[in-house]
Structure 1
Amino acid sequence: MRETLILLPGWGLNGAVLQPLAEALGSNMQVQVPALPRLGSAAAADWLDELDTRLPHDCWLAGWSLGGMLATALAARRGKRCRGLITLASNACFVASDAWPTAMSAQTYAAFYEGCQENADATLKRFAMLCAQGCADTRGLARLLQTNLLANEPSLLAGLQVLATLDNRAALAALTGPQLHLLAEQDALVPAAAADDLLALLPAGEVDVLEGCGHAFVLEQPQALAALLLEFIREANDGDS
């Protein structure tokens, strides 16, 4: 029986952006790309409750950006009922603070949130460009991302608030199963400099920085990324046997 892997998308984008990665993984695993909650609530617990009810248990949890942060919190909640955790371009905290400085500045986040309130469509397009920044085909990726942007709805602002308030430091430290966290060297949204701080939190696991790519490496390099993920899962399973 093949392993099941849940792959959660990031903020502002539908699951189609992760389909190339899901297809690259699919010959070896059962991969599901569920949508993020469409909730008006900005309470992370409400988002996790919804995901916990909807998603299967005893599977690998993975996610990109906000999806990775939610996967982390859900993995910690499930404990041994989670096979393992993989995050892609995710941080322990999305917004910087004195306790976690290697993240987006609070001023940048505040301006982004305000922009989403005033003109969500323009802000989402700018967000797509930031995701593609640092990748080899920045313009092509930005255009592709823009075709997969979500419509303006209450869950967009709520998701931004979840991003700002979710603090996964304790969750990462508490996880006893296998963990892999991949960051992008030229990410304009999640600084690669967080790698050392992330690694210091983990009781066991890996943190790697992929060179020459940006936040949208999940869309730009699906085959190479799938190979890394499958190798990590294979090694984790060998360790269990």
Structure 2
Amino acid sequence: MTERLILLPGWGLDGALLQPLAQALGDTLQAEIAPLPRLTTADPNAWLDELEARLPSDCWLAGWSLGGMLASALAARRGARCRGLISLASNACFVAREDWLSAMPADTYAAFHAGCEATPAATLKRFALLCAQGAADARGLSRQLQAHLQTHADEHLLAGLEVLARLDNRNALASYAGPQLHLLAEQDALVPAAAGEALLALLPAGEVDVLEGCSHGFVLEQPASLAALMLDFICEAHDGDL
């Protein structure tokens, strides 16, 4: 059986950003990039409802950053109708809270949200810089990321930013019984690699790995390394039959 995998992109960037990763996955499985919802509501359930209606069932769900958080929540919703879950540079909670400290500080998020409201174009450019921070060639990666920034700042961008803050996937990750792999970046400026230990403690089964020497934008920085880890995990999850 050829496995099917749906890739969801992150906030503020187009799905073409994931094309190198989809290509690196090769002919071994059927990898498809699906856009995030373009909704103006910040209700996470509405975003999940839209994805549930649009995305095929009985496939692997994967995503980067916000896409990974949505994939995680949707996998828990689907249960046995999801063959497996892979998140890339995603956290259980994007914004820190009293009982989940390995995340973005609340005041940092608040300042970023205010910037997105006041000067969205400048904030998106700053976001690309943050995604590249910690990369071996941060300047070059930032230029690549900026080429994938959404060209207009609609209300759905602000809504997506608020969804990031509202999603709490701790129960979702703990309840999803299918195979799950969570890959973090050692030098991530947005999702601390230190969240890995707390993430692993949530999982009923699964893996959490940290890729050394790379940034939040590792989907563009190290697509071949990510693809190899993803393929190995999917193969092992289905007894070597891929």
**Range class of TM-score, shorter chain:** over 0.9
Could you report, residue by residue, the CA deviation over 1:190-228 in whole angstroms, capped at 9, with x for unpaired residues?
A: 000001000000010000111000101110111111111
Correspondence 1:41 to 2:44? no
1:221 paired residue number: 222
One-letter amino acid of the counterpart of residue 35, structure 1: P
Partner amino acid for 1:5?
Answer: L
- SS of 1:199's equivalent in the other structure is helix
Q: What residue is the counterpart of 2:27 in the other structure?
A: 27
For residues 12-35 of structure 1, what are the alpha-carbon distances to aligned partners after superposition, in whole Å with 9 as ceiling and x for unaligned? 000011000001113111111011
SS of residue paired to 1:26: coil
Structure 1 unaligned spans of 5+: none
Distance of 2:126 and 2:56 partners within structure 1: 34
TM-score (norm: length of structure 2):
0.98
Q: After superposition, what is the alpha-carbon deviation per residue over 1:55-82, rounded to whole angstroms, capped at 9, x for unaligned?
A: 0000000000000000000000000000
**What is the one-letter code of the residue matched to 1:208?**
D
Q: Which runs of 5+ in 2 are unaligned?
A: none
The residue number in structure 1 matching 2:161 is 160
Q: Secondary structure at the match of 2:238?
A: helix
Deviation at 1:9, TM superposition (A): 0.2
The amino acid across from 1:121 in the alignment is: A
Q: Secondary structure at the match of 1:62?
A: strand
The alignment yields a C-alpha RMSD, in angstroms, of 1.2
Cα distance in 2, alignment partners of residues 126 and 114 from structure 1: 13
143-152 vs 55-64, greater mean Cα deviation: 143-152
Provide the secondary structure at the position in 2 that maps to 1:74: helix
Classify the secondary structure of the residue corresponding to 1:19.
helix
- Counterpart check, 1:184 vs 2:156: no
The percent identity for this pair of structures is 71
Distance, in Å, in 2 between the alignment partners of 1:60 and 1:10 is: 17
Q: Give a deviation string over 1:113-149, Cα, whole Å, max 9, x none.
A: 0000000000000000000111111111101111111
**Superposition map of 1:98-113 within 5 A:** 98-113=98-113
Deviations 1:139-177 (A, max 9, x none): 111011111111200110000100000000000000100
Deviation at 1:240, TM superposition (A): 9.0
1:130 — aligned with what? 130
Equivalent AA in structure 1 for residue 177 of structure 2? T
Contact 2:235 2:241 in 1 (8 A): no
For residues 48 and 88 of structure 2, the distance between their equivalents in structure 1, rounded to whole angstroms, comes to: 18
1:1-241 map, 5 Å: 1-150=1-150, 151-238=152-239
Q: How big is each residue's C-alpha offset from its partner over 1:68-113, in whole Å with a ceiling of 9 and x where there is no partner? A: 0000000000000000000000000000000111100000000000
Structure 1 residue 239 displacement after superposition: 7.4
Moved over 3 A (4+): none
SS in 2 for 1:5: strand
Aligned mates of 2:180, 2:3 — CA distance in 1: 16
